[in-house]
Structure 1
Amino acid sequence: MNELEQIIKLHEKLIYHIASKFYDTPKEDLYQAGVIGIIKAYNNFTDNGTTKFTTYAYNYIYGEMYELVNNHRSIRLNKNILKLYKKIEQTKYLMAQKLGYIPSYTEIATYLNIDESTIYQIYSITSSIMSLDNEEERNIYETISNPAYDINTNSIDLKDSMNTLTKEEQDIINYRYFQDFTQSETAKKLGLSQVTVSRYEKKSLSKMYNYLNS
């Protein structure tokens, strides 16, 4: 066990103590955020003989947990908006595949039978919401078929790329992008930590992208 691991172990009680101040967020997620806080404190701490590491680390731990809780709350409050955003993005992608060009808002609105003004409002709102989740709530078609990647993806290709994933990775992608689960909800469903889900998700998307770009 190295020095950092020892410090994390020694401060577990502090992490759980601070975690007890927050509600409606899984304790495992809060613990992982607390560990990140400890690591950041460890990397930035300078022993000047006047400030104890525990005192210094407290603000880092609390700050990471506070950010986690606020981000989850913002995402929950805007989940319906995000669902509509995903529906619009997927429709835009599928229509572009059929039409050979990116459809206008008018064409998308007609296809979805919604007001064109609604699409403008959704894009305006999500431009700020998406940053709260580091763009992890993006539609999977947009995520791995971004025009910047120069990939021509269709539903068959997408299914084939899913076959390159392990069963656990497929479950994560399914919950995250096809059932609209948040990372925290996915973690709870699969018995994993939110940090693990985030890591596996990024790894899975990378594997799918590499397959589609091969």
Structure 2
Amino acid sequence: MKPLEQSSEKLLSQAEMRELIALSQQGDQEARKRMIEGNTRLVWSIVQRFSTRGVELEDLFQIGCIGLMKSVDKFDLSYEVKFSTYAVPMIIGEIQRFLRDDGMVKVSRSIRELNFKIRHATDEFIKQNEHPPTIQELAEVLGVTAEEIVTASDALRDPASLHEQLFESEGDSITLMDQMKDEKSEQPFEYIPLKEVLARLDQREQSIIYLRYFSDCTQSEIANRLGISQVQVSRLEKKILAQLKSWMATSTKVDQEVKNDI
């Protein structure tokens, strides 16, 4: 797709656009092409808003055109609204998605370009076949290996935060970290410097801390062992940690006063 400076396509009226959209949604590729080329000025005007984001405007223009294509394919002609009213948010959303993916994890330009082709090819495949393509079908369409398709798709996925909230009830929440377990991490309880403080906990509280932090059990596993709910484990864990923190703060203050006396 050519940016504004290189496009000589005349502006389309609302009536012309609605006619072209209707034909395009019926499978007329020439009408779809005219509709897209007739709205490059709209895409380019939106791209200018992102000129300070450190990305080539030509790249953003190509991404914006994907949003334009989606707008043409999905615009509901039964509503009496201007096409631009529907298209602008779609185009902006596509560009923002690209900037978000490009910014969180730095990947090579070749992978970003392949990911761009994958998304475009997927949209075209769904439009023609009414179902998503398999990895192998995408590989055949783009002339690459299935492994390259998987690599490019995974490289631009949003990384999940360990603090991502999975469940919340009555003020207690369970995060992704709470569901994780490190099979390699195992430290004897009796060798922890906090032994004296931990000894002040009751038996169930000690069990929760031991299982959670020294046996690397998840909250679900602890709940099953103790015969309580995972939410109860989460609530108890927070209470115990707050108590330990308070005890440790008091202990540190006493130690400091002793040192000062000496």
Q: TM-score, normalised by structure 1?
A: 0.39
**Structure index of larger Rg:** 2
Judging by fraction of residues, say which structure has more helix.
1
**Structure with more contact order per residue of length (Cα contacts < 8 Å, sep ≥ 6):** 1
With the length of structure 2 as denominator, give the TM-score of the two structures.
Answer: 0.32
